[in-house]
Amino acid sequence: MNAMLSAALRYAELGYRVFPCVPGDKRPLTEHGFHDATTDVTHIEAWWTAHPDANVAIPTEGLAVIDVDGPDNPWPGDAEKSGELGGGPTSLTPRGGRHHIFRQPAGRTWNCTTGKLADHVDTRANGGYIVVPPSVVAGKPYSWASTRALEAGPQSLAEPPEWLTGLLDSLNGNGGRPEAHKAPKGAQACPGGNPIPAGQRNATLTRLAGTMRRPGMTQAEILAALQQINRDRCRPPLAVDEVEKIAASIADYDPDQVAVAVVENHWAQDAAAAREDAAPETPDPGPLPEELLRVPGFVSEVMDHCLATAPYPNVVMAFGGALCLQAVLAGRKVRDPGDNRTNLYLLGLAHSAAGKDHPRKLNIEILHAAGLSKHIGGQFASGEGVQDALFLEPCMLFQTDEIDGMLQSINKARDARHENIMGTLLTMYSSANSVLPMRRKAGKESPGSIDQPCLVVFGTAIPNHYYEALSERMLTNGFFARMIILESGKRSAGQEPRIEPAPSRVLEAARWWADFRPGDGNLEPWHPVPRIVPITHEASEILIETRWGAEAEYTKAEANNDTVGTALWGRVTEHARKLALIYAVSESLERPAVGRRAVEWARRFVMHQARRMLFMTQAHVAANPFHAECLRFLQKLRGTPGNELAHSIMLKRMKMDSKTFGLIVDTLDQRGDIVIRDQPTATRPGRFYQLVGATQGKDPGKESGEGERSAEPAPGVKDRERSSGEKNSER
């Protein structure tokens, strides 16, 4: 029996409900987080059999856990009080903090607090949970202090010392005790509310159950409340099984995740959990500078033709299309001395009717004129379809619009076909310089393999739809990091389209690539030996410096437990080498060499991209439903005149109840993301919301400077992988 399972069973034996968390992390593995906690041995064994390394967590309902952050935290500052605080079970956390565990005194109903006892001192009580030994987070274990292990059941734990009980009472209001309800003089006592007469009992209990389910109460919690209401207020009480049916029926409905986040104060819990891991936010480097959207030679010639003939010229889309065209023409035909190939996954973000379609049509026209129509693919039907297409033609350009729709389908995880597409794309990208065995079909022999597949993807999407479609898996499994993302600005002025054939130089270059057979004269296409494009000594030194810079950023992200940052910085060097190779073959057709200009351009390009992608995930991708609403609020301010909107306009655009709207405003105001400004008008005072930094003419976090800056990178998203339905107050 492994250590985690053994510990979980031991806690359950003592009477503590347990549930598993992600190995090496604090995120619940169960669908409903701590609400799924149990002492049932069968459930516990099933969980830890499926996830042997899962961490162990205990809900703190009925407990009072004092969470003191940091090894040097002096709280409570008094030797006698410190001794009393350490008199019960004490867990030592991986970052040098400690959890002091007590039980709540009878009659108390304490809740979680953040930083209210003292700086960096929180409480975990009703509505929260703690991770317990021998769990491991960020490579370091939780452990019990010497002679202070948890060896007694919840009812046998000591109560907090008197001085601490007083503090906790004051934090929870009313001394932490439920108020007594008094019936009016001469009326029949009915604790907690008015009597519910026959004929109204089922409907009333159902409505009450609905209000409890909306913020996330479980069936057991709803049933307990309904049973109490039934006993105290129903005249006469309903049968027990009737109340059970009401609770079971309402529990079938999904909770309102925004209400869950508001009631359980997910924002504050996440902020508290992030304090230990706090890192500076990623500054916004802005969209890619326009001078980086040029590569000499073939790419620029294709761009110029595209911009001259498009109804709505779009520099970003023209550049992306031309870059992908050069990548597929050189696919399986060139490589650098490190065996990097020209396969790219490029995504252009632009709004509808902003010029996304014309570059795709131009690529098809040029490939068709060069006799390479078989190299063109369209939408991704399935992972198997992509494999089959590359088996027939190992070098292909797939051009697909609205790629965010595919990502949404993957994110919902309801369609294995779309899930398989992602796996195939990841595999193809990594197999460009090797041989990929084809999948086996049931009852049949393997059809063979794909030799050095070169899959180039030119996808397009609407910006907001794309970032909303991203999930934790895509951000951390390498899919997001493998993509080069280009953002278009506002749509350009239209022009009268012209029907012109592609320039003869472009067509001649495309046909040259079509006829080019690298290697020792082998004309067979199934096993080419790509030409090695040399790298000059000066360029090689710049590439080494680029690698060192990316490794330094990776180390920072790793130290901050930033999985998004490590995924992005881990691909920077590879992207730089691929792009420098494409630059070289675009610049010189027959005698390419990767020189200083190629690698300097590639370095600026990829470093800017990494920082921009980190900022965009931070600004767009939500950690939980309440966070999503906060980000949506900020997005509606961005791009408006002065980055400011009136209260009445914002309330209409957010389309939510005024209570939730007020909580979002308060949260963003306290975090310093917005400024609330009251302005007198002719009739009544008007309220306005403005992004912080808008008065300086910039978005929050945006710093001055262009191109290569030594901005400190930081995690793109903190604790993004937490389940949207369960952001509990664990740190």
Co-location of 126 and 26 in the same domain: yes
The CATH number that applies at residue 676 is 1.10.10.10
| Max Cα-Cα span within the chain | 107
Co-location of 49 and 135 in the same domain: yes
Co-location of 387 and 508 in the same domain: yes
Hey, CA dihedral for 359, 361, 365, 370, is it positive or negative? Answer: positive
Q: Are 117 and 58 in contact (CB under 8 A)?
A: no
At 41, phi and psi to the nearest 5? -60, -40
Co-location of 506 and 365 in the same domain: yes
Co-location of 560 and 448 in the same domain: yes
pLDDT at 695: 40
Q: Is residue 183 situated within a structural domain? A: no
Q: Is the peptide bond before 497 cis (omega within 30 degrees of 0)?
A: no
Q: Are 364 and 411 in contact (CB under 8 A)?
A: no
Q: What is the DSSP string of 310-342?
A: -SS--HHHHHHHHHHHHHHHTTTTEE-TT----
Co-location of 550 and 660 in the same domain: no
pLDDT at 702: 34
Q: Are 39 and 12 in contact (CB under 8 A)?
A: yes
Give the Cα separation of 195 and 189 in Å (integer).
9
The CATH number that applies at residue 139 is 3.30.2250
Q: What is the pTM of this model?
A: 0.54
Q: Is residue 67 situated within a structural domain? A: yes
Co-location of 599 and 466 in the same domain: yes
pLDDT at 311: 93
pLDDT at 525: 55
* Residue 717 reports pLDDT greater than 50: no
Residues 453-471 pLDDT 10s: 999 999 888 877 777 677 6
Please indicate whether residue 174 or residue 131 has the higher confidence score (pLDDT): 131
Domain boundary among the residues 563, 597, 620 is at 620
Structure tokens at 35: 């609400």
Co-location of 309 and 458 in the same domain: yes
Residues 380-432 pLDDT 10s: 777 788 888 898 899 999 998 867 666 666 655 544 555 677 788 888 999 99
**Total H helices, total E strands in the chain:** 26, 25
Structural domain total, the chain: 4
* Residue 277 reports pLDDT greater than 50: no
Residues 247-256 pLDDT 10s: 998 988 888 7
Average pLDDT, stretch 229-243? Answer: 88
The pLDDT-based confidence of 508 (bands split at 50, 70, 90) is very high
Q: Are 293 and 319 in contact (CB under 8 A)?
A: yes
Q: Is residue 462 situated within a structural domain? A: yes
For the chain, what is the mean pLDDT?
82
Co-location of 440 and 317 in the same domain: yes
Co-location of 483 and 571 in the same domain: yes
pLDDT at 178: 42
pLDDT at 704: 30
Give the Cα separation of 102 and 165 in Å (integer).
10
Q: Is residue 719 situated within a structural domain? A: no
Distance linking the first and last C-alpha atoms of the chain: 28
- One-letter identity of residue 200: Q
Q: Is residue 181 situated within a structural domain? A: no
Q: Is residue 271 situated within a structural domain? A: no
C-alpha closest to that of 11 among 136, 155, 156, 151: 151
pLDDT at 660: 83
671-678 LR contacts (CB < 8 Å, sep 24+)? 671/271, 673/630, 673/634, 673/700, 674/633, 674/634, 674/637, 677/644
Co-location of 468 and 506 in the same domain: yes
Please indicate whether residue 110 or residue 174 has the higher confidence score (pLDDT): 110
Give the Cα separation of 488 and 290 in Å (integer).
11
CB atoms within 10 A of CB 49: 10
Q: How many residues does the chain have?
A: 731
The partner residues of 20 in beta bridges, in order of sequence, read: 56
Average pLDDT, stretch 223-243? Answer: 89
Give the Cα separation of 724 and 412 in Å (integer).
13
Give the Cα separation of 459 and 401 in Å (integer).
6
Average pLDDT, stretch 501-527? Answer: 81
Please indicate whether residue 132 or residue 33 has the higher confidence score (pLDDT): 132
Pinpoint the alpha helices (H) of 26-134: 41-50, 79-85
pLDDT at 722: 34
Q: Are 111 and 167 in contact (CB under 8 A)?
A: no
Pairing of strands 113-118, 121-124: antiparallel
Residues 661-703 pLDDT 10s: 888 888 888 777 898 988 776 666 688 999 886 443 333 333 3
Q: Give residue 148's domain range.
A: 3-176
Q: Is residue 411 situated within a structural domain? A: yes
* Residue 517 reports pLDDT greater than 80: yes
Q: Are 109 and 119 in contact (CB under 8 A)?
A: no
- One-letter identity of residue 295: V
Co-location of 221 and 127 in the same domain: no
